[in-house]
Amino acid sequence: MTRYEKLADEIEGLIRKNVYQEGDKLQSVRQASRQRGLSITTVTRAYLLLESRGLVASKPQSGYFVSARAGEAPAAGKLATSHPAATSSPVDVSRLVLSTLRSISAGDAVPLGSPYPDPGLFPFQKLNRYAYAAGRDEALLGLKDALPPGHPKLLRQIARRYLEKGLRVDPDEIIITVGATEAMNICLQAVAKPGDVIAVESPTFYAMLHAIERMGMKALEVPTHPEYGIDVDALAAIVASQPVAACMVMPNFQNPLGFLMPDERKQALVELAARHGIPIIENGVYNELHFGDSHPSTLKAYDSKGLVLHCSSFSKSLTSAYRIGWALPGRYRDQVEKLKFLNTLTTPSLPQLAIAEFLERDGYDYHLRRIRKAYAQQAKLMKAMVERFFPEGTKTSTPAGGYLLWVELPPRVDALRLYRLALERGITIGPGQMFSVSDGYRNFIRLNYSTPWSDDIEQAVIAVGRIAATCARAA
């Protein structure tokens, strides 16, 4: 048990014995730190842990108070704030992720575990025709326009799209990449070096862990609220106590939690980073898939210092097949462009041109409205089905966008075991172990609801629920 868990347990004991009562103020972090000879970080983490247990609540500028609902568990079915280990770790999740994704993509398994959107809802025939037309033109096949930063037509369309959504982007800042994966890799390489500590959400999108692993850096998971995102106060305590080279987050419709970080939290995060001069790598690949009426804001919009390196792609909103992503690297633009050149030389022109044609000539917004509506409905169906057919004690996320549901199973269910048993039945799921450097999410799974609802999907969800129930009893 860590020190902060010990402290949290001790205080929980005091609350349960009514030594601390509802409304009582806890010692300030500073007082408790001094009195107990513990670091500020340890006390902060203990308080956050108590908060995640629903035992205390923080009031801005005042401190922590014993909660009105002290002693009760969080509302049934609701996920709690995560409280990952407070230490940074080298990363080695890629083998697990690769073997999992490979079996997910093999054969005709029901793709509940897929990270990709169902291509059937995407305008792939139209894109394919544009790619074909571009491919017939000899002049487009050479080096021309393929070199970094990317094809001028696509750069223009991307800048225009941001502008429509309220973010002023200079086309000259954009670097086209092989998917958001390459964008995140080169942005991270531009701002940090091997051995550095990178702060991430918990659970974390595994591609971020991969970027950290690739460079031999260390990941430090930060407590993350299932609906509001990374805990900015917890991050503040961390950066006050140790060097953090960069922060990698997904503020909108995070994979796997699906939350939409509120604007004031986004702003607070950017301000915190600015105070400490810490670059933030922001992944915005799900931004176009909001269930609410308005397009979500980005961290980039609050960034006045060029410290936000915004990464995105068309893979989740238009086509996964073309692997076209980009970076808006702020003050690191030239370094990122150079790293793109070193890493893969060029991004192919034809898919860039096909997408640019689509954005210029067709109804991207119309297409997006259709899939957003479908995903929002399918999210509700998937959540309802899981709540109905999964074993007691199961909790689900409430996605505000995207096409992924995060499910907490009873503690005794091991997600990797569930994954293997489901695979035997021709069903795939995303095991929680992929989303963390610790073993913190071994009883969590990620489900993809992008496929139009069908009996097959429904039967698959019911089957996974039954297997999970068996695991919960058997363990």
Look-up of token digits 């050149």: 341
For residues 132 and 264, which CB has a smaller minimum distance to a copy of itself in the complex?
A: 132
* String marking each residue 119-138 x if it binds a copy of itself according to CB under 8 A: xx-x-xx-xxx-xx--xx-x
Task: Please give the structure tokens belonging to residue 394.
Answer: 């199961």
Q: Can you tell me which of 115, 329, 440, 465 binds a copy of itself, judged by CB under 8 A? A: 115
Relative orientation angle of helices 40-52 and 29-36, to the nearest 10 degrees: 120
Question: Is position 96 an interface residue for a copy of itself (rule: CB under 8 A)?
Answer: no
Residues 320-349 that bind a copy of itself (CB under 8 A): 320-323, 337-339, 341-349
DSSP 45-68: HHHHHHHHTTSEEEETTTEEEE-T
Interface with a copy of itself by CB under 8 A: which range of 39-47, 103-111, 153-161, 234-242?
Answer: 103-111
Q: Can you tell me which of 173, 182, 357, 414 binds a copy of itself, judged by CB under 8 A? A: 182
Task: Please give the structure tokens belonging to residue 54.
Answer: 């629903």
- Alpha carbons 394 and 385: distance in angstroms, whole number: 12
- List, as own/partner pairs, every contact residues 373-380 make where C-beta atoms lie below 8 angstroms and the sequence separation is at least 24, other chains included: 374/121, 374/452, 375/289, 375/291, 375/401, 375/402, 375/403, 375/449, 375/450, 376/291, 377/453, 378/403, 378/449, 378/450, 378/451, 378/452, 378/453, 379/258, 379/291, 379/403, 379/405, 379/449
For residues 26 and 427, which CB has a smaller minimum distance to a copy of itself in the complex?
A: 427
Q: Smallest gap, in angstroms, from Cβ of residue 419 to a copy of itself?
A: 16
Give 473's contacts (C-beta < 8 A, 6+ positions apart).
none
Residues 398-457 that bind a copy of itself (CB under 8 A): none
For residues 7 and 350, which CB has a smaller minimum distance to a copy of itself in the complex?
A: 350
For residues 67 and 185, which CB has a smaller minimum distance to a copy of itself in the complex?
A: 185
For residues 2 and 105, which CB has a smaller minimum distance to a copy of itself in the complex?
A: 105
| DSSP 8-state assignment for residue 151 | -
CB 261 within 8 A of CB 235: no
Q: Smallest gap, in angstroms, from Cβ of residue 121 to a copy of itself?
A: 10
* Amino acid at the residue 435: F
* String marking each residue 188-207 x if it binds a copy of itself according to CB under 8 A: ------x------------x
CB 403 within 8 A of CB 368: no
- Alpha carbons 211 and 230: distance in angstroms, whole number: 19
Q: Can you tell me which of 141, 236, 421, 463 binds a copy of itself, judged by CB under 8 A? A: 141
Task: Please give the structure tokens belonging to residue 369.
Answer: 């409205």
* String marking each residue 208-227 x if it binds a copy of itself according to CB under 8 A: --xx-xx-------------
Q: Smallest gap, in angstroms, from Cβ of residue 99 to a copy of itself?
A: 10
Question: How many positions of this chain bind a copy of itself (CB under 8 A)?
Answer: 65
Contact positions vs a copy of itself (CB under 8 A): 94-95, 97-98, 101-102, 104-106, 111, 114-116, 119-120, 122, 124-125, 127-129, 131-132, 135-136, 138, 140-148, 178-179, 181-182, 185, 194, 207, 210-211, 213-214, 319-323, 337-339, 341-351
